[in-house]
């Protein structure tokens, strides 16, 4: 038995559900309508407890229940107006809604979306044929995870409108396959061979790769670097945007950071501090000699025809370089992994690595790279004896 008070289109209603009987009763609008509705709900509950079902004999027609498609359209229109959301995220939500949610749920009344219907949808998408882009394949959990965020915000809109009592997504039993970061860093010898081959084939591309591996930037952050971001005297760049889907956007963490581009990642040294070996500063010489250097502060550092290198161009040049260097193929994004693993293996401070690389927190960094941190030896790990003497001249206070 349930008697719920809900606001709908400026009016207060009673929604009554008891032993298979349902009824909606309009109370009215205005300041006092909510109080009247609450009092009526108490009286009706008492009558139902006494077995009086007369309330169902003359029912006022309930307002038409909107379909999932109607609520989804409203939710996706209102969400960016009320929340700070990146264009890329909004595109992902809209795309998943169009390709997956609307074909499955679109014509259903919003009140029919339950935990069971959502879990059935998840099963269908994770099974063979669940993908739209790849016929005969299951939808990847990473894509499904983003899509279910869109479903959650649509149903949250339905809750706010009083169409459903609670968001069923909160009770859905689903855990995605844990994301495993494919970290396969380059050795120092491999990295030096790559940079040497790149210098021979394309000096501009060599400068890009050296900056990439000595800064630890993400691929989109590297592509989004502009002339105004580079400080050649300090050997740093200001990372404040990313280039993705042919447009600029904020960084992944929505934070700006100053990053050194002269970490000695490719050098045969145990040092991690920026600029320690003189060779690290060759990237600065490379930036000064780029074939295309615009005087406009907003011009991209690594550009072709005024736009950042396309992903296809980067990967095409990368394959040629690795072939010439005789190095086993890994994707160019491994340069960021190489930076992080090298820095940690050389005892760079954890918080410094996190800040420079732009990870949201140290724990996020450690989940992927902890195995590259030097482990203390057995003797180092043992606590000092309580009776150990205090060294001469040491202030015990």
Domain ranges of the chain: 2-56, 68-171, 188-372
Q: Residue 384 has what pLDDT?
A: 39
CA nearest 127: which of 115, 117, 114, 141? 141
Find the largest Cα–Cα distance for the chain: 96
pLDDT for 3 equals 84
Range 188-372: architecture per CATH: Orthogonal Bundle (1.10)
- Output the six-digit token pair for 227: 């002339």
**Is the pLDDT reported for residue 58 higher than 70?**
no
pLDDT, tens digit, 9 for 90 and up, residues 198-226 = 999 999 999 999 999 999 999 999 999 99
The answer to whether the Cα torsion of 265, 268, 270, 271 is positive or negative is negative
Q: Which of 249, 257, 267 shows the shortest CA–CA distance to 210?
A: 267
Return the residue matching tokens 């963490």.
253
- Distance, in Å, from the CA atom of 282 to the CA atom of 261, rounded to the nearest integer, reads 10
Tokens of 373: 């941190």
- CA neighbor of 17 nearest in space, from 56, 50, 47, 51: 56
Angle, helices 311-325/203-215, rounded to nearest 10 degrees: 90
Cα 167 from Cα 339, distance rounded (Å): 43
Percent of the chain past pLDDT 90, that is, above it, reads 62
| Average pLDDT over every residue of 267-293 | 91
CATH of domain 68-171: 1.10.150
Residue 348 half-sphere exposure toward CB, CA atoms < 13 A: 26
| pTM summary value | 0.67
pLDDT at 218: 97
Q: What is the DSSP string of 306-343?
A: TEEPPHHHHHHHHHHHHHHHT-----TTHHHHHHHHHH
Q: Which residues, in sequence order, are CB contacts of 294 under 8 Å at separation 6+?
A: 227, 303
Q: What is residue 389's three-state secondary structure?
A: coil
Give the three-state DSSP class for 242.
Answer: strand
For residue 279, pLDDT beyond 50? yes
Counting every residue written for the chain, the total comes to 397
Spatial separation of the C-alpha atoms in residues 339 and 261, rounded to whole Å:
11
Angle between helices 68-82 and 141-160 (to 10 degrees): 90
pLDDT score for 377:
62
Give the mean pLDDT of the chain: 88
Backbone φ/ψ region at 246: left (φ over 0), alpha (ψ -120 to 50), beta: left
Categorize the per-residue pLDDT at 1 as very low, low, confident or very high, splitting at 50, 70 and 90. low
Q: Give pLDDT tens digits for 117-137.
A: 999 999 999 999 999 989 899
């Amino acid at each position: 038995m349930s008697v719920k008070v809900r606001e709908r289109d400026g009016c207060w209603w009673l929604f009554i559900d008891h032993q298979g009987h349902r009824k909606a009763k309009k109370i009215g609008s205005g300041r006092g309508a909510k109080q009247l509705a609450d009092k009526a709900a108490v009286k009706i509950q008492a009558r139902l407890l006494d077995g009086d079902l007369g309330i169902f004999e003359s029912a006022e027609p309930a307002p038409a229940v909107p379909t999932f498609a109607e609520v989804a359209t409203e939710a996706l229109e209102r969400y960016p107006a009320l929340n700070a959301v990146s264009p890329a995220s909004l595109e992902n939500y809209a795309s998943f809604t169009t390709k997956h949610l609307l074909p499955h749920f679109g014509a259903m009344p919003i009140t029919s979306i339950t935990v069971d219907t959502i879990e059935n949808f998840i099963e269908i998408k994770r099974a063979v044929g669940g993908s739209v882009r790849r016929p005969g394949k299951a939808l990847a959990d990473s894509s499904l995870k983003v899509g279910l965020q869109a479903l959650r915000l649509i149903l949250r809109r339905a809750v706010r409108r009083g169409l459903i009592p609670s968001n069923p997504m909160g009770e859905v039993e689903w855990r995605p396959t844990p994301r495993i970061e494919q970290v396969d860093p380059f050795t120092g010898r491999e990295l030096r061979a790559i940079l040497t081959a790149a210098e021979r084939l394309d000096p501009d591309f060599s400068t890009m790769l050296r900056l990439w591996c000595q800064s630890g930037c993400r691929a989109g952050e590297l592509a989004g670097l502009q002339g105004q971001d580079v400080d050649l005297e300090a050997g740093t760049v200001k990372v404040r945007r990313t280039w993705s889907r042919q447009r600029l956007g904020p960084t992944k963490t929505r934070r700006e950071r100053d990053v050194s581009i002269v970490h000695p990642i490719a050098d045969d040294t145990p040092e991690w501090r920026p600029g320690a070996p003189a060779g690290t500063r060759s990237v600065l010489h490379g930036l000064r000699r780029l074939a295309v250097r615009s005087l406009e502060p907003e011009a991209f550092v690594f550009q072709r025809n005024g736009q950042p290198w396309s992903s296809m161009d980067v990967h095409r040049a990368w394959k040629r370089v690795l072939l010439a260097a005789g190095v086993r193929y890994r994707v160019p994004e491994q340069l960021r992994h190489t930076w992080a693993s090298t820095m940690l293996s050389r005892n760079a401070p954890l918080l410094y690595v996190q800040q420079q690389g732009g990870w949201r927190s140290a724990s996020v960094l450690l989940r992927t790279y902890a195995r590259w941190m030097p482990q203390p030896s057995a003797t180092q790990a043992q606590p000092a004896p309580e009776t150990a003497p205090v060294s001469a001249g040491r202030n015990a206070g």
